[in-house]
Amino acid sequence: MRLDGRYHGLELPGKCKIGVSGCSNQCAETCIKDIGLVGMPSGWRLLVGGNGGGLPRLSQELARDLTDEQAMDMIDKILEIYKTNAKAHQRIGAMIEKMGFEEFKKLVSSE
């Protein structure tokens, strides 16, 4: 609910789906969401860049063992980078693919 309250209606370059799974079974299919959080015993695992549909793409792990606040802060950074760098109608995964995952990771950690 915190994610919905914080990001619902946010103007973004394209569609953005966020999934949250309370355990590693990923019942919310976080591996094919633009941003995914997976609950682990040691904290949240943060995944980015997934996409279902005609050109499916599995997300990549950006960070793990995050507290609630750390996860929210990283999502803020991801969405800011997305707003700044993506073309109209481009999904996060396509943007990451174009810039490279390591470059994206650097941007998230330096913001």
Helix (H, G, I), strand (E, B) or coil at 12: coil
Q: What is the pLDDT of residue 12?
A: 96
Q: What is the pLDDT of residue 23?
A: 87
Q: What is the pLDDT of residue 110?
A: 85
pTM over 0.75? The answer is yes
CA distance 1 to 8: 10
Domain boundaries, the chain: 2-110
Q: What is the pLDDT of residue 78?
A: 98
Give 10-residue mean pLDDT values along the chain (111 residues): 89 95 89 96 97 92 97 97 97 96 94 55
CATH homologous superfamily of domain 2-110?
Answer: Sulfite Reductase Hemoprotein, domain 1 (3.30.413.10)
Q: What is the pLDDT of residue 111?
A: 55
CA distance 82 to 37: 17
